[in-house]
Amino acid sequence: MVKDHGPQIKDDERYEKLREKGMSKEKAARIANTPRSEAGRRGGKSPRYEEWRRDDLYQKAKEVGIPGRSKMQKSGLIDALRHHGKT
């Protein structure tokens, strides 16, 4: 029988399975509270980086702390933003 985790958790069964897999309470709750019809959707409504102006790409690169951004062309900024934080 699935434990009731209160009104803050919408799908108790899903929450418990995620916790058993080792997810944090916060992440498990966030996933369990996402309607299944929306699960797996990625990304927002922002246009692709290719549609951004270079100045906007530069500002985004500045926000996330990409070094050497001032010398990059548009294509370099796009590449740096897409691969930032990946190791």
> 66: left (phi > 0), else alpha (psi -120 to 50), else beta?
beta
Return the half-sphere exposure (C-beta side, CA atoms, 13 A cut-off) of residue 86.
6
Q: What is the DSSP letter of 51?
A: G
Confidence at residue 79, expressed as pLDDT on a 0 to 100 scale: 96
Confidence at residue 39, expressed as pLDDT on a 0 to 100 scale: 64
Confidence at residue 5, expressed as pLDDT on a 0 to 100 scale: 76
Rounded CA-CA distance 51/68 in Å is: 22
Determine the structural domain holding residue 17 and report its residue range: 1-42
Q: What is the domain count for the chain?
A: 2
- Cβ atoms of 27 and 18 closer than 8 Å: yes
Confidence at residue 85, expressed as pLDDT on a 0 to 100 scale: 75
- Whether residues 12 and 36 fall in one domain: yes
- Whether residues 57 and 79 fall in one domain: yes
Confidence at residue 60, expressed as pLDDT on a 0 to 100 scale: 95
Confidence at residue 10, expressed as pLDDT on a 0 to 100 scale: 85
- Whether residues 36 and 55 fall in one domain: no
- Whether residues 33 and 53 fall in one domain: no
pLDDT values of the chain reduced to their tens digit, one per residue, 87 residues: 778 877 788 888 888 999 999 999 888 888 888 887 766 666 677 889 999 999 999 999 999 999 999 999 999 999 999 998 775
